Structure 1
Amino acid sequence: MFYAKSGRAGAIRGLAGVSLALGLGGATAALAEGDALVIGNSGYEGLQLLTGAFQIERTLERLDNRGFETEVARDGNSRDMRVSFLKFVEGIDADTESLVVVLRGAFVHGASDAYLLPVEQDIPENPGRILTSSLSLDSVMTVLAAYPGRAFLVLGEEAQDADYGAFLEAGLGDLDIPQGVTVVRGPGADVMRFAATDMLSRGRPLSSTVRRYEIDLLGYAPKDITIVPARDDAAATGQVDADAGEQQPDADDLAAAARAAEAADNAAWRLAQQADTLVGYQTYLQGHPQGQHAAAARQRIKAIDDEPFYQDRRTEERLELSRDARRDIQRDLTILGYNTRGIDGIFGRGTRGAIQNWQRAISVRATGYLTAPQINRLDRAATARAAELEEEARLRREEQERQDRALWRQVQADPEEAALREYLERYPEGIYAQEARSLLEQIEARRAERAARADRNDWRAAREADTISAYRSYLEKRPGGAFQAEAKARIRELERAAEQEQNASRASQAERALNLNPVAKRLVEARLTQLGLKPGVVDGNFDQNTRRAIQKYQQARGIRATGYLDEETIIRLLAGGVGNR
């Protein structure tokens, strides 16, 4: 925010971004045409306002040229507005010809007063703060009422859609205007164009000029009232009267005016491009319908109209998300159950659809594009969900181990062959699987000793072949053989192994499609080691220990247990790092 004193000799130095550099006034009170206060606020959180910097600059220039002593506050906070208002009041000349206050910004009103919000005034949880931090129009009216017939309040109101609590509402509301005070009121853009052009026309009645801008003239408003009255020596000095209009300028004036118009056009276009919004380009066209950038403005308006979420896309683009940041977002969405159709850092239809579904779930506008606060919220939600998934996996693993131990206790109570085989059927990689196999080998060895030599020979041949067909041949040849149970169990194991091998082949292809580099593989092994699953050496080479660890991880989390990595396993494995990026 900038605030300064502007006098007739203190010309404005120019426009820099949206800030004004104002010269200190050198005109004396005796030479002053009047006193003025200009406050232009636009930098509100939550309000997309075009700053109107050029219109404010032009208004200040015209005030300066007319000899006004002006206090200026630009994008003012509470203190800035209070200081400017106090300086304005203290500097009023008792003999001032005109007293002008121009206020543009967001207003709120209550039962008895209205307030201009400072730029730092977001909608507070306690709206009472507004009453102490905003500029009271009642205070401004009190000062102006002391100068009846020569006091003017110009109010440019910005549209807003906000809830300010039980006792304040958005907007100016109905104004209680003191006797003798003239008020001009209307939309911010229209009022500022009026202020920058016709407001200070010498001898030109306000009643005729406000009609051009479709704004309201209220309070003390006789038909011939002007802010800058006509002079008696108007003809000699070249100044205007109410009917004749401005004196015809010479060639130098025309050239200067053309340069000023071009500068104004370019400045307004820069502001429109900076805003890059529908309102911004429309505002440019309102002020410069035949401007040199008018065609470009209309083209941009059409592009924005054709793309319903244009501004949302531009907001996300300004975040300049890296490929890794996009992968993180896709991982977060997937952890929360929204399918992005890949974790590749490319936001295609799948990712946009997932974002929209998530936005609907949290009751925000479903644009498919993310803001910085939404990305942070998504990351927090994914972090919490990752913790929940790990806790669910821990509970599932504990339950599996409980059932494993319970079944083994039953086996120990009656360690028969059928019970041992049932245990291995249910828990082939169980806690007691090795012990169960050892006991079965002992049973088979004892049976082999008792079996007839021919039966043993047939069984030995089937074991050496170790194929499903060999075991079936044994069963057909020896329907009452000693090794019937072993043959049937081995057939089930081989059938299960064949199915697993077929699944493993598909899973292996899916893992290769992930294109994991050695660094990613080492991260997987490190995470498995951290979880106590013993994947072997952390070297990026997946051996049998690694496959077994991956399979155990998948089983504990309800993921299809193949021993190979897929997207879901990768996401869940690395979920422990979510939130620490």
Structure 2
Amino acid sequence: MRILALALAGAVLGATSALANGDALVIGNSRYTAVQTLFGAQRVAQAASALNAKGFDVTLVQDADAADMRRAFGEFAELLDDDGGPVVILLTGAFVHSAGGSYLLPVTGNGRIDEAEVLMQGFPLDAALAILSAHQGRAFLVLGETGEDPDLSLYLNAGLGELDIPHGVTVIRGPAMDVARYAARDMARTGRFVRRAAIEYELQIEGYAPQGQVIVRAGDVAPPRGAIDPPLPDPFANRAADDVAWRLAQEADSAEGYQTYLDGFPGGVHVNAARQRLSALNAEPFYRERRAEEDLELDRNDRRAIQRALTILGHDTRGIDGVFGDGTRGAIRRWQEETGLRVSSYLDRDQIARLQAQSTRRAAELEEEEKRQQAERARQERVFWRRVEDRGEEAGFREYLQKYPEGRFADEARAVLKAIDAQRAEQAVGQDRRDWTKATQANSVAAYNAYLRDWPNGGFREEAKQRISQLQLDADRVRNSIEASREEKAMNLNFVARQLTERRLEQLGMKPGKVDGQFDENTRAALRRFQDARGLRVSGYLDEQTMVRLLAGGIIGIDR
């Protein structure tokens, strides 16, 4: 068995007595401003160790620049056996994509990289897929995105994008925190169903994904070798103490731990990696706060709950998706500053409890405020309608519809006006009627204005004015919808969140149609009614304010 460890930050993995014919390349890149992972430096090493424990030949590199990634990939490809076992490539870090493919960003000394450098130095996923395509049915590409948002725009876009997956290759992808947890805990478990694990960790599976698929089969793991087949000599045995000390330092992942390693092994194999980690920790102002949050082991549902709480309190997280990117970190900073806490963008257990308590109080306040506002709006509408009915004038009914297009008495007002319009149409002279027909066929503001200019006292003048107002209102709604649709898309609403949105609208009597997680025209109309009833921007899409009002009801975002 081969265990390759690259000098930058690689962990040297010891031999194991349970052998599986498998090969793995593990590249765990970090925040691109320091040699430090967002989800715990030990996570990638743990995943590599888990694979090694099942007999995989593992090539591991962490916080790698372009040269380290090329070297790791070259050694992995050169020594890859065609022995019928699983082949795994695990990549975590920041990804970008273009029409020409997707790339894993290297870690640079200054944390900056331009687009031309990415195209020349980024790790191309096409290269990984090309290798995996030769091992159809047992090839796995596991991708974890850290949520970094590099400043790229000319040739490249942030994120993985769509992948051209060869036949027989399985791609597992998701946020780095969830991918790392899956990789460290479950990826190498014997007989662990891939699709079931993906559901549990909320990861996406693309490409080849049959039912009952596993990475490590029970038949791949041989019994321990004993007297009949003595173990091969371990080429790293003479540095076992060095490796144990290094693992302990990685598990502690603290300045004290790395300094202890350097003091005990000044000429050790991992001295360069220890110095880099120590330098990064000393340079990171909120290291302890970050580690405290990581130690909480927040899952996706926990992170969504925090995003919901922040949103209710008025701090936009740019999505309730369980991914702590720049939007969420900024929201946490603003909340901490507002609350008088140390501003770090990381949360500990006490802060999470405080945040949730504040959001619960605010949700109750919003609900009470909404009830008062609805009662007042309903009272004003009833007063207005009584006045319209008492006068019985056409202008009053039209004014009511303009003011309350989705109002309680809108159908009655339209019925009255329909009868008035029909009577007027019968009385109108021939040319008036013909010009009105042409205007309605064009159905534009210009056409109705032309009719009013030619027939200032025409039989359809009031209807023309109302249609102009309606078209202008529709135009405003279109503009609102375009902007709000972008906001809704940024929220990354999953199927369950959409279904719960529809259920909440149904509970409120907004008639969203079938509760199926599909936002059709019935859902959009229900959202418009909800927004109109609460004095919100009417668009039919879930913008931030609409989401806050729905969240205040305690419905949206409960994903499990």
TM-score normalised by L of structure 2 = 0.50
TM-score normalised by L of structure 1 = 0.48
Greater Rg by CA: 1
